[in-house]
Amino acid sequence: MQRLIRFNTVNPPGQELAAQEHLAGLLSAAGFQCELIGAVPERPNLIARLRGRGDGPTLCYLGHIDTVLAEPSQWTRDPWGGELADGCVWGRGAIDMKSQLAAEAAAAISLASRGWRPAQGELLLLSVVDEETGGELGAEWITKTHPEKVRCDVVINEGGGGVFEYRGRRYYGVCCAEKGVFRFTLSTDGVAAHASMPKMGDNALLKMAPLLARFAERQPSYSLTAEPRAFLRGIGEDPDNPLVAVERLRDYDPRLVTMFEPMLGVTFTPTRISASEKINVIPSRAQLKVDCRVPPGLGEAQVRQGIAEVLGQDGFQVQFTERVVGNRSPLQSPLMDAISGWVGERDPAAAVVPVILPGFTDSRHFREAFPDCVAYGFFPQRHQSLFDTAPLVHGADERIDVRDLGFAAEFFRDIAVRLLG
């Protein structure tokens, strides 16, 4: 992992080639068949395959090698130094997601170098580029352009595994689904006039004030789909009474509500506002852009219902600018059984619960390309809690406890043997 961090793969521009060649060299030496393939030569995706002795499922360990930017002046340590200090590895990508990619690769190399081969099926390790800007050159490109090279039955990706505590028990979230986006623009109209005479026109921007206030006051009512219902049951709460469940979470630890309440329905976050192009002109039109996230199974009808509930129905217009439905995998599967069994053995006081990721990952491209595959996000971290980890993602001083690297590598080693023999 330290070596991966020292490759600066900030995207844009990416520059992932050297890091991918490094990984390919390690995996090839262990016995994997490796291929570098990309939409552009300097940004290849790595496909590493370990074939089994007989027919069976393809288990894919999925990771992305690119990272977001880092501003060194805001960091305690060099973002690309990969330093080992205070029991942690520090650097950009330490959580998102060179740690998981390193643990996956270390597990795969340790198995293959000892002569292990799947009894049935194959192990596929896929390191893709360009995830941080949508995957156009990475997972999206490869699943659309070369699906035969990455076709798989089971995918383990980022998005889950951070441990949290509730009422004396530890839980590991398994990301079974990801929200979609139904972004929209609110518009208000007025009459333009010279700004030196405030009462002369009808200021469209001022009409946004009550709308912003309503956004600040509340979110749409909960609309629980299968995943949050299973989550609440898993932590011992009643999914038929989510208001009480949320209050109990808040009383125990308000951070639980911050992390998990977005799973319970549609969310609205206003992010950008614009009005007059000139400072001395009263605007005749104002526009507010809203980032709207929607659980899989819900769509535009529920968004419009939420808009009416939060804002009312008069005094503005709504235009949808982006519609991407959420994606999900089954809550019950052999992979879920394997994850639950492993956690039960390694941390007997803990349990696993399904979660929805408020954002999205490359899993969506695999679910779309291979509808029958089961894709979960899971990178088990026992020592660095979910609350410790979440603020560091895309933030300064990103780091991970080295004990969790070993914990996760053991998971990826063991789960391959359990699923492939």
Q: Which domains does the chain have, with CATH numbers?
A: 2-166+332-420 (3.40.630.10), 179-324 (3.30.70.360)
Three-class secondary structure of residue 11 per DSSP: coil
pLDDT tens digits, one per residue of 186-221: 999 999 999 999 999 999 999 999 999 999 999 999
* Cα distance between residue 144 and residue 322, in whole Å: 21
Over range 110-134, report the average pLDDT.
97
pLDDT value at position 67? 98
Q: Please, which pLDDT band fits residue 420 given cuts at 50, 70 and 90? A: very high
pLDDT value at position 48? 98
In sequence order, the β-bridge partners of residue 51 are 122
- Structure-block tokens of residue 279: 């400072």
pLDDT tens digits, one per residue of 241-254: 999 999 999 999 99
- Structure-block tokens of residue 244: 């009480």
Over range 385-402, report the average pLDDT.
96
- Tell me what the pLDDT averaged over the chain comes to: 97
Helical ranges in 235-299 per DSSP H: 242-252, 254-260
pLDDT value at position 209? 97
> What angle separates helix 17-30 from helix 98-113, to the nearest 10 degrees?
20
Over range 355-373, report the average pLDDT.
96
* Cα distance between residue 33 and residue 87, in whole Å: 34
pTM: 0.94
